[in-house]
């Protein structure tokens, strides 16, 4: 086939004159990382709360948490993203919605993407937290209560310290997923890694080089996260516990 490879394309100045095409890629890379990490922190916090609520005896609280998880797990990520980006500003109180719509478009895209990814992932984190708490022998909770701890104290001093260490391995795959899922945000125009790759195809007419570069960048993120999490897993492993390997 008559394709002329040109890897030098990345060092050429862009058509819009703001640096080289490599700079575009690097910008997209930074957006992907910033988006995924910020969404991950929110997802961890929210997911922990919702996951704990799913295991409490209070019917209202656990019912609410179950509904939360079901809603975020049964609507496609893309639909959720569009709901946050196009629908949410219309449903907010008038002045808040207008303030959002008048802000910088990049800020709008980033905020919607971050909230969307964070809540989507938090439902999955919550499921891991719940199964971590439920995997503990019931005797632990009973023992805590029998010692005179209140329910919150039992969670704080007995159940959670153990559960946190058990759920690190399953959370690794959720952490990997959030980077991959962030590529969906290119659909609302956020210039993250996948979007930059697509833009490069339009500007340079060198589709293979730009797509290979983007794909390799995702592989790189994947490898770095995997090694990082393996290190964390090694440090939090519970000796002699099956769940901790």
Partner 1 sequence: MHEFDWSSIPNALPFLWDGMKISLEITVAAVIFGIVWGTLLALMRLSSIKPLSWFAAGYVNLFRAIPLVMVLLWFFLIVPHLLESLFGFPRGSDMRLSSAIAGFALFEAAYYSEIIRAGIQSVPKGQMAAASALGMTYGQAMRLVVLPQAFRNMVPLLLTQGIILFQDTSLVYVSALADFFGAAYKVGDRDGRLVELLLFAGAVYFVICFTASRIVRYYQNKLKTA
CB of 114 to partner 1, least distance (A): 17
Q: How far, in Å, CA of 162 to CA of 166, rounded?
A: 7
For residue 28, the minimal CB distance to partner 1 (Å) is 12
- Choose, by CB under 8 A, the member of 170, 211, 232, 243 that binds partner 1: 211
Minimum distance, C-beta of residue 148 to partner 1, in the bound complex (Å)? 37
Minimum Å gap between C-beta 214 and partner 1 is: 7
Quick note: the x/- pattern for partner 1 over 158-197, rule CB under 8 A, is ------------------x--xxxxxx-xx------x--x
Q: How many residues bind partner 1 (CB under 8 A)?
A: 43
Binding site for partner 1 (CB under 8 A): 1-3, 70-71, 73-80, 82-83, 86-87, 90-91, 93-94, 176, 179-184, 186-187, 194, 197-198, 201, 207-208, 211, 214-215, 218-219, 222-223
């Amino acid at each position: 086939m008559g394709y002329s490879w040109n890897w030098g394309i990345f060092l050429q100045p862009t058509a819009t004159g703001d640096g080289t095409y490599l700079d575009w890629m690097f910008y997209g890379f930074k957006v992907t990382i910033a988006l995924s990490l910020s969404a991950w922190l929110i997802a961890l916090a929210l997911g922990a709360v919702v996951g704990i609520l799913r295991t409490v005896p209070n019917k209202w609280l656990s019912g609410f948490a179950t509904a939360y998880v079901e809603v975020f797990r049964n609507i496609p990520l893309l639909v959720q993203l569009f709901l946050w980006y196009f629908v949410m500003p219309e449903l907010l109180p008038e002045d808040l919605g207008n303030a959002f719509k008048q802000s910088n478009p990049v800020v709008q895209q980033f905020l919607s993407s971050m909230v969307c990814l964070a809540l989507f992932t938090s439902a999955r984190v919550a499921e891991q937290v719940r199964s971590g708490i439920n995997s503990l022998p019931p005797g632990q909770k009973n023992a805590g209560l029998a010692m005179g701890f209140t329910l919150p104290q039992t969670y704080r001093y007995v159940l959670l310290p153990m559960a946190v260490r058990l759920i690190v391995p399953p959370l690794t795959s959720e952490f990997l997923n959030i980077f991959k899922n962030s590529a969906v945000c290119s659909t609302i125009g956020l210039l993250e890694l996948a979007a930059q790759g697509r833009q490069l195809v339009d500007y340079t007419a060198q589709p293979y080089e730009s797509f290979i570069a983007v794909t390799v960048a995702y592989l790189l993120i994947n490898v770095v996260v995997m090694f990082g999490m393996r290190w964390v897993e090694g440090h939090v492993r519970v000796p002699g516990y099956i769940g901790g390997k």
